[in-house]
Structure 1
Amino acid sequence: MVQYDAQYYPYASRRNVVYGREGMVATSQPLAAQAGLEILKKGGNAIDAAIATAAALTVVEPTSNGIGSDAFALVWVDGEMHGLNASGHAPKNISVEKLKEAGYKEMPTFGKVPVTVPGTPAGWAELSKKFGKLPLTEVMAPAIAYAEDGYPVSPTLGFHWQAAYKKFKEIFQDDIYQSWFDTFAPKGKAPQVGEMWKSPGHARTLKAIAETNAESFYKGELAKEIADYFRKHDGYLTKEDLESYQPQWVDPIKVNYRGYDVWEIPPNGQGMIAQMALNILKGYEFTEKETVDTYHKQIEAMKLAFSDGLKYITEQKEMDASVEGMLSDEYADERRELIGEHALTPEAGEPPRGGTVYLSTADGEGNMVSFIQSNYMGFGSGVVIPNTGIAMQNRGHTFSFDPDHANSLEPGKQTFHTIIPGFLSKGADPVGPFGVMGGFMQPQGHAQVVMSTVDFHLNPQAALDAPRWQWMEGKTVKVDPSFPEHIAQALQRKGHQIQRTLYHSEFGRGQIIWRDPETGVLAGGTEPRTDGDIAAW
Structure 2
Amino acid sequence: MRRDFNVGRSAVYAENGVAATAHPMATLTAVDVMRAGGNAVDAAVAAMALLCVIEPHSTGLGGDCFAIYSKGGKGKPIGFNSSGRAPAAATVDWYLENGISEIKVETPHSVTIPGAVDGWCRLVEDHGTKSIEELLQPAIKAAEEGFIVAPRVAHDWGKMVAKLSLDPHTKARFLPGGRAPLVGERHVQPELAETLKRVAKLGRAGFYEGPVAEDIVNRLRELGGLHTMDDFAASEPTYVEPLSSNYRGYDVYEIPPNGQGILCQVILNVLAGYDYADPRYSEADRVHLLAEASKAAYLRRDVLIGDPDFVDVPVERLLSAAEGDRIREAISLERAGDPAPVDPVVHTDTTYLTVVDRDRNAISFINSLFSAFGSAIMAPKSGVMLQNRGSSFRIIKDHPNAIAPKKRPMHTIIPGMMGKGETMLMPFGVMGGHYQPVGHTQVVTGIVDFDLDPQDAIAAPRSFAYDGEMRLEATFSAEVAQDLQARGHKVVRQDPVGGGQAIFIDHERGLLIGGSEPRKDGCAIGY
Q: Same fold (TM over 0.5)?
A: yes
Letter in 1 for 2:193: A
User: Take 2:387 and 2:350, find their aligned partners in 1: how far apart are those partners?
Assistant: 11
What does residue 126 of structure 1 align with? 122
Aligned equivalent of 2:264: 274
Could you tell me whether the CA contact under 8 Å between 1:87 and 1:120 is conserved in 2?
Answer: yes
1:511-526 correspondence runs (5 A): 511-526=501-516
- Which amino acid counterpart does residue 342 of structure 1 have in structure 2? R
* CA distance in 2 between partners of 1:284 and 1:267 (Å): 27
SS at match of 2:65: strand
Q: Would you say 1:322 and 2:322 are equivalent positions?
A: no
Q: Is the 8 Å Cα contact of residues 164 and 170 (structure 2) preserved in structure 1?
A: no
> Which has the higher mean CA deviation after the structures are superposed, 160-169 or 325-334?
160-169
Write the distance in 2 (CA, Å) between the matches of 1:46 and 1:372.
14
Paired letter, 2:301: G
Deviations along 1:476-533, one digit per CA (max 9) or x if unpaired, are: 21111111221111111111111112x21xx101111111112321111111111011
Q: Which residue of 1 aligns with 2:107?
A: 111
Query: 1: CA distance between counterparts of 2:173 and 2:361?
Result: 37
User: What is the aligned partner in structure 2 of residue 231 from structure 1?
Assistant: 221
Which secondary structure does the structure 1 equivalent of 2:399 belong to? coil
| Whole-Å separation in 1 of the counterparts to 2:224 and 2:292 | 45
Distance in 2, matches of 1:20 and 1:377, equals: 35
Q: What is the CA-CA distance between 1:426 and the residue it aligns to?
A: 1.3
The equivalent of 1:97 in structure 2 is 93
Aligned residue for 2:302?
310
Residue 194 of structure 1 is matched in structure 2 by 184
- Contact 1:122 1:246 (8 Å CA) reproduced: yes
- Pick aligned residue for 2:71 from 63, 67, 77: 77
Q: Distance in 1 between matches of 2:239 and 2:133?
A: 23
Deviation at 1:363, TM superposition (A): 0.2
1:16-38, Cα deviation, whole Å (9 max, x unpaired): 11111111110111111111111
State the partner residue of 2:245: 255
Match of 1:244 among 234, 242, 254: 234
Q: Is contact 1:29-1:533 (8 Å) kept?
A: yes
The structural deviation recorded for 1:225 is: 1.8
Q: 1:150: which partner in 2?
A: 146
TM-aligned CA deviation for residue 229 of structure 1: 2.0
Asked whether the 8 Å contact 2:428–2:500 carries over to 1, the reply is yes
How far does the alpha carbon of each residue in 1:447-470 deviate from its partner, in whole angstroms, 9 at most, with x for none? 111111111111111111111011
One-letter identity of the residue aligned with 1:122: D
SS in 1 for 2:465: strand
TM-score, with structure 1 as normaliser: 0.93
Corresponding residue SS for 2:370: coil
Structure-1 residue corresponding to 2:132:
136
Question: Which residue among 271, 276, 296 is the counterpart of 2:288?
Answer: 296
Partners of 1:366 and 1:520 within 8 A in 2? no
Instruction: Supply the distance in 2 between the matched residues of 1:205 and 1:263 (Cα, whole angstroms).
Output: 34
Q: Does 1:450 align with 2:444?
A: yes
Query: 1:363 is matched with which residue: 354, 357, 360?
Result: 357
Shift of 1:298: 1.2
Give the whole-Å Cα distance in 2 for the aligned partners of 1:101 and 1:512: 47
Counterpart position of 1:342: 335
SS at match of 1:523: strand
Residue aligning to 2:9: 15
- Pairwise CA distance, 1:299: 1.0
* Per-residue Cα deviation, 1:365-394 (whole angstroms, up to 9, x for no partner): 010000000001110001111132211100
How far apart, CA to CA, are the structure 2 residues paired with 1:208 and 1:484?
A: 52
Aligned to 2:19: 25
Show CA shifts across 1:44-70 (max 9, x none).
000000100110000010011111011
Distance 2:195 2:510 in 1: 37
Displacement of 1:319: 3.2
What is the CA distance between 1:347 and its match in structure 2? 5.9
Give the corresponding residue for 1:440.
434
Residue number among 236, 241, 265 corresponding to 2:255 in the alignment: 265
SS of 2:184's partner is: coil
Judged with a 3 Å threshold, the aligned counterparts in structure 2 of structure 1 residues 428 and 521 are, in CA distance, closer, same or farther, namely: same
RMSD: 1.5
Task: Tell me how far apart the structure 2 counterparts of residues 160 and 49 of structure 1 sit (CA, whole Å).
Answer: 26
What's the offset of the Cα at 1:334?
1.6
Whole-angstrom distance in 2 between the partners of 1:267 and 1:221: 33
Tell me the CA shift for residue 83 of structure 1: 0.7
Aligned residue in 2 for 1:406? 400
Match of 1:381 in 2: 375
Which whole-Å CA distance do the structure 2 matches of 1:157 and 1:534 have between them? 18
Q: Which amino acid aligns with 1:15?
A: R
Identity %: 39
| 1:64-115 alpha-carbon deviations (Å, 9 max, x no partner) | 1111011000000142300110001111112222223333221111121110
1:234 and 1:311 map into 2 onto residues whose CA distance is 30
TM-superposed CA distance for 1:444, in Å, is 0.8
Could you say if the C-alpha distance between residues 9 and 292 of structure 1 is closer, same or farther in structure 2, counting changes exceeding 3 Å? farther
Partners of 2:81 and 2:449 in 1: how far apart?
Answer: 30
Classify 1:167/1:221 alpha carbon distance in 2 versus 1 (closer, same or farther; 3 Å): closer
Deviates more, 1:280-289 or 1:82-91: 280-289
Displacement after TM superposition at 1:221 (Å): 2.5
For residues 249-288 of structure 1, the C-alpha deviation after alignment (integer angstroms, 9 at most, x for no partner) is 0001110000111110000000000100000110111224
Asked whether the equivalents of residues 35 and 143 of structure 1 are also in contact (C-alpha less than 8 Å), the reply is no
Paired residues in the alignment total 515
CA distance in 2, matches of 1:143, 1:23: 21
Q: CA deviation at 1:194?
A: 0.3
Tell me which moved more, 259-268 or 93-102. Answer: 93-102
Change (3 A) 1:280 1:9: farther
Q: Which moved more, 1:139-148 or 1:269-278?
A: 139-148
Q: Aligned to 2:480, which of 487, 495, 513?
A: 487
Contact residue 96 and residue 395 of structure 2 kept, 8 A: no
> Partners of 1:313 and 1:281 in 2: how far apart?
22
CA contact (8 A) 2:250 2:419 kept: yes
Deviation (angstroms), 1:330? 1.7
Cα distance in 2, alignment partners of residues 416 and 320 from structure 1:
13
**SS across alignment from 1:317:** coil
Unaligned runs of 5+ in 2: 342-348
Contact 1:9/1:465 (CA < 8 Å) preserved in 2? Answer: no
Match of 1:311, SS state, is helix
Q: CA deviation at 1:346?
A: 4.8
User: Which residue matches 1:351?
Assistant: none
Q: Structure 1 residue 201: deviation in Å?
A: 1.3
Contact 1:9/1:462 (8 A) holds in 2:
no
For 2:111 and 2:221, the matched residues in 1 are separated by: 13
Alignment partner, residue 346 of structure 2: none
Note if contact 1:47-1:369 (Cα within 8 Å) is conserved in structure 2.
yes
Q: Which one-letter code corresponds to 1:189 in the other structure?
A: R
Secondary structure of the residue that 1:121 maps to in structure 2?
Answer: helix
For 1:51, the equivalent position in structure 2 comes to 45
Contact 1:28–1:358 (CA<8 Å) still a contact in 2? yes
In structure 1, distance between residues paired with 2:309 and 2:100 = 27
Amino acid at match of 1:21: E
**1 CA distance for matches of 2:500 and 2:299?**
24
Where does structure 1 lack aligned partners over 5 or more consecutive residues? 349-354
